[in-house]
Structures are given as structure tokens and as C-alpha cells.
Amino acid sequence: MREAMADITESPEWSALAEHQAALAGRHLRELFADDPGRVGRMTVTAGDLHLDYSKHRATAETMRLLVALAGRAGLRGRIDAMFSGEHINVSEDRAVLHTALRLPPAEALTVDGQDVAADVHAVLDKMADFAGRVRAGEWTGFTGKRITTVVNIGIGGSDLGPTMAYEALHDYADAGISCRFVSNIDPADIVGKLAGLDPERTLFVVASKTFGTLETLTNAKVARRWLVDGLGDDTAVSRHFVAVSTNADRVAEFGIDTANMFGFWDWVGGRYSFDGAIGLALMIAIGGEAFREMLAGFREIDEHFRSAPFEANMPVLMGLLGVWYTDFFGAQTRAVLPYSQRLARFPAYLQQLTMESNGKSVRADGAPVVAQTGEIFWGEPGTNGQHAFYQLLHQGTRLVPADFIGFAEPFEDPVVDGPAGMHDLLTANMLAQTSALAFGKTAEEIAAEGTPAAVVPHKVMPGNRPTSTILAPKLTPKTLGSLVALYEHIVFVEGTIWGIDSFDQWGVELGKVMAMDLAPALTSQEPPEQAPDASTAALVRAYRALRGRKV
Ligand SMILES: O=P(O)(O)OC[C@H]1O[C@](O)(CO)[C@@H](O)[C@@H]1O
């Protein structure tokens, strides 16, 4: 039986925040800025290449002091140390949580549960780099001796979203003439579409699955194997065209992939925290081992910052605490993530798994029900596209939607000029304008003064007081991407610590998987369905069967 955790909402720190919120709720950001000229300087923090301005939050110096005190009450410092040192903080699975070990510098030692974790990590990274180097150099060829030009990663969830997002973000660094495609969905449209136009002689499949037991991945891998064997007319071609990334060597071998071509990881890496290890193999083949290691250095820089910076100047701590502030004290339900970079189009989707699979929990680590709201709903789209879609609600809707804006100073493209500002400057101008409009809005008086007819004035009022963080980095490099991801990984950890939950299990996804396997025969058999879990689902099974021309 686990020791019962204290109820954080009963703590003096929580009560102080609740009282403070009541006093602050009626105050506008316009006033907070007017009252405190030093605000921006104080509410700006840098970590490695990341620059965060959090002054446009509905928070004062006192708010931040109280939030930091809450972190102290939740034992955040001790929890950080526990994670980095390999304590079994994933309690429901009795595992260490060591994604931070994936980016340990070679000189740093770490032994956990009697195992030299640092040596294991570097052995896998070296094996990946060696393999990636051979594929890139054309030394590892397909079965017929031709160079590999496309890598197809087959995986789902953490075995897909990380590498997909990172490949899209960093495709400018793909310098060996090798491109990647990513197949995840059990919907046949995914694999059929992704295989279209590929040459089996030049295609390498990376089957990525921590468990190597995931229905979608194994099904897609079997389809890919059939496509390859049909295309090359020889079963033995598989060994040159399939490699695996997994923690489960037995299942890899059972599938028919030579375990010499398997890249391992460990149960102490959660799937959603894994693309900086072997799950990033496809990415490494595309961008090369050196760029991959630069990405790891970016992760590492934020790990170090998170571990050592005082909470008052600690970027993940501040952003995590602000997440708690809005979730639990303002009743906000979602957080928008708005990258002003087309290359980060998949970043919100990646963060959805990272944050929501981690913190979407209603039971605490001690097994008792949670005492506060948990799990922000993350969503978003790149700017400026989002501006022409859902920003109306952000500006004038009734809901409070805190938002993270992410931008970069340097574009990749040569200056594409249209008027005095280049396109990239226009992109950035839009980002900055949005955060300013969200924070300060426009009053009825200001609108009326522009000659707006009185009847239209209320429609044009921009209430403002809508909180945002702005993260700026020099350029979307492998290093800055690593830093950004580590930032959000640690934000998740900070929030999970305050809420007292185990951010590293995901039991809630299991039931649906089992039920799907139970239901599949009812959909596919030629006989009338025997059972369905409930009346509604039984009716839907019958409707589906009727539509497919099967007996009902
Ligand atoms: O890598 P695997 O074992 O195939 O799992 C894929 C994904 O499935 C999940 O278990 C959720 O169903 C995720 O946590 C994981 O990232």
C-alpha cells in the first residue's frame, strides 16, 4: 500500500493562491503593465537558445512568488532529483523515468538499478550512427544493390509523432538525398498512400514499436513486407529492407527481423519521450548522426537548466506553474500552442500526446482521486493559418485560452521580399501583433474615436487580458528543436508533480484496444453478430454490417 499523499488543495500555499486569484481576477493586463514598469525585464527568462517573455500573463511578481511556494510545497525540487537519478517515480509500472539519460554527454556516468545506463545509451547511439552513416553513404544498400532513397517509419503514438514532427521541423538538414515517410494509422489509406510511387529496391522500413505488440504497427509492417516481397520477388530481401526499433527482441525476431538490425531502448523511456533515442532512427538517417547529436545537446541544455536554475528563473518551472495557475485557479481547460513556423506544423499534435497522455489522469500516484483539475487540453496550428481560422474565439470568445506563441528570428529561405518587410518579418510581425492584441485589446472608446458607428462598436471591442507566453529562438535548428521539446517535457513534469499524478503511465488507452479486438470478429464474420458490449454499439455493428452487405 502506498503512503497517502497530502491534499495540496488543503495547503496554505494553495489557499494563498486562491485568495490572490480573487484579488487579481478583475485586473486587466493594461493595468498590470501600467503599474509595474519593470515587469517585462523581470518576466523574461532565457534558457540556452530559448528566450521566454511571460509578462503577458495574468500574473504579478506576487503570483509568481506564490506559485513557486506551491512548487516547494509539492516537493518539486526533490521530484526533479528523483527523476534524474533514476528513482522509480513511475509508480504504477514500478519503473525509473530516464528520458533525460538519452541525452547524457558521453563523459557523464549514470548507474541505475545496477545497470550502467549511460553506457547502454551511448552503445545504442553509436550503433544508430554507424547504421545511419552506412545508409547515407550508400554502403548499406537494398537487396538488389541500389542506394536507399526513402525511409518509411512504421509506428504509432510515441513511435510516430516524435520522429514525424522532428523530421518535418528539420527536413532542411536532410543532406544525403534520403527522405522519410511516416505510416501510423490502421486506416489502409495511410500505408497505401505512403507506399504509392516508392521503389521497393530503394526503400528501407524502420518498424518502430516499444512493445512490438501494437496492432496498427504490426499490421502496417506486414502489409509493407508483402509489398516489398511482391516487388522484389524474393523473401530473403526482407533482411536488407527492414530494421526494428524496440525494447522487445523476442517479438522482433518472431516478426522476422534480424535482431542484429534492431536498435534497442528500455522500459524507463516512455514512448512519448523517446524520439531522442532509437525511435529517432529514421530522423537520424535523414539528417545524419552529427545533427542528431546537436539535437541531443539542445535537449541537454534545457535538462541542465531545469535541474539547476532557481525556480524563479527556471523556464519549464515557470511555464508549468502558469499552466497550473490557469487550469486550477482560472478554470481554463485548454492551452493553444501556436508555432509561427510552417516546419512546426506537427508540433501541436506531438505535444498532444506528450502532455495529454502524461497528465490526463484522475487518480493520483497514491491511487486516491485527484483533488484538482489536471491535464490541459493542448491544441494548435501554425500561425498565420490559425489567425484566419480560430483566433476570432481567442480574441473575442467567452473562454479563457492561454496560448504559447513560438517564433524564430532566422528564416531558412532566401529573402522573399514583398514590400519593405520580407515574408519572414511579416510572419514575425503577425506573431507579435497577435500577442499584443490578445493582451491589451482595444476599448470601446478607442473604437468609437475611429468613427465607428455606435451600433457596431460593441462588436469591434477587443477585450484583451488574454494571456500568452512568447518563446523566441534564433533559428529552428536541431539544437533549438531539442531544447523546445525538453522544455515541454519538463513542463509536463512540473504540472504532474503539483497534481500528484504519475505522468509516465497511460492505462486509459488499454481498454479500447482490447474491446476493438473483441469487436472485430462481429464486424467481419459472415454470421450474424453474437454480441456487442452494449445496445448502442450492437446497433452500430448491425448498421455497419448492413452497409457492407453482411448478414444482420
Ligand atoms: O511503441 P508502441 O509500443 O508500439 O506503442 C505506441 C504507442 O501506444 C501507446 O501505448 C498508446 O496506445 C503509446 O503510449 C505509445 O507511444
Instruction: Give residue-wise pLDDT tens across range 27-42.
Output: 999 999 999 999 999 9
CA 122: distance to chain centroid? 24
pLDDT exceeding 70 applies to what percent of the chain?
98
CB burial class (10 A; 0-12, 13-18, 19+) of residue 443? middle
The cell for 71 is 512548487
Sign of the alpha-carbon torsion through 480, 485, 491, 497: negative
Residue 1: is its pLDDT beyond 60? no
Alpha helices in 86-137 (DSSP H): 117-137
User: How many other CB atoms are found less than 10 A from the CB of residue 464?
Assistant: 18
**Spatial separation of the C-alpha atoms in residues 497 and 77, rounded to whole Å:** 10
**Could you identify the atom of ligand 1 that is nearest to the CA of residue 357?**
14
Contact 262, 249 (CB under 8 A): yes
332 pLDDT band, cuts 50/70/90, is very high
Active site residue 450: no
Predicted confidence (pLDDT) per residue in 236-258, tens digit: 999 999 999 999 999 999 999 99
Residue 423: is its pLDDT beyond 70? yes
Residue 116: is its pLDDT beyond 80? yes
The cell for 359 is 497528465
Predicted TM-score (pTM) above 0.90: yes
Alpha helices in 405-509 (DSSP H): 423-440, 444-449, 457-460, 478-499
pLDDT at 326: 98
Q: How far is the CA of 365 from the centre of ligand 1 (A)?
A: 21
Active site residue 460: no
pLDDT at 550: 85
418 pLDDT band, cuts 50/70/90, is low
The cell for 223 is 502489409
* 465-to-24, 44, 271, 286, 483 alpha-carbon distances in Å: 12, 19, 37, 44, 29
Average pLDDT over residues 432-461: 98
Predicted confidence (pLDDT) per residue in 468-506, tens digit: 999 999 999 999 999 999 999 999 999 999 999 999 999
pLDDT at 307: 98
pLDDT at 417: 65
pLDDT at 34: 98
Ligand 1 lined by 384 (C-beta under 6 Å): no
Of how many residues is the chain composed? 552
Ligand 1 lined by 480 (C-beta under 6 Å): no
Q: How far is the CA of 357 from the centre of ligand 1 (A)?
A: 10
Q: How far is the CA of 6 from the centre of ligand 1 (A)?
A: 32
User: How many other CB atoms are found less than 10 A from the CB of residue 339?
Assistant: 27
Residue 355: is its pLDDT beyond 90? yes
Q: What is the 3-state secondary structure (H, E, C) of 510-522?
A: HHHHHHHHHHHHH
**Residue of 62, 388, 410, 551 marked active site:** 388
Q: Whose CA is nearest to atom 8 of ligand 1?
A: 157
User: Which of 52, 169, 54 lies closest to 472, judged by CA?
Assistant: 52
Q: Whose CA is nearest to atom 13 of ligand 1?
A: 157
Contact 346, 157 (CB under 8 A): no
User: Which of 460, 335, 354 lies closest to 406, judged by CA?
Assistant: 335
Can you state the angle between helices 510-524 and 535-547, rounded to 10 degrees?
Answer: 40
**Spatial separation of the C-alpha atoms in residues 100 and 355, rounded to whole Å:** 17
* 346-to-72, 176, 337, 417 alpha-carbon distances in Å: 34, 23, 11, 27
**Residue of 31, 139, 254, 513 marked active site:** 513
Strand, coil or helix: 86: coil
Predicted confidence (pLDDT) per residue in 54-92, tens digit: 999 999 999 999 999 999 999 999 999 999 999 999 999
Query: Which helix (H) or strand (E) segment is 50 a member of?
Result: strand 50-53
The cell for 24 is 487579481
Active site residue 361: no
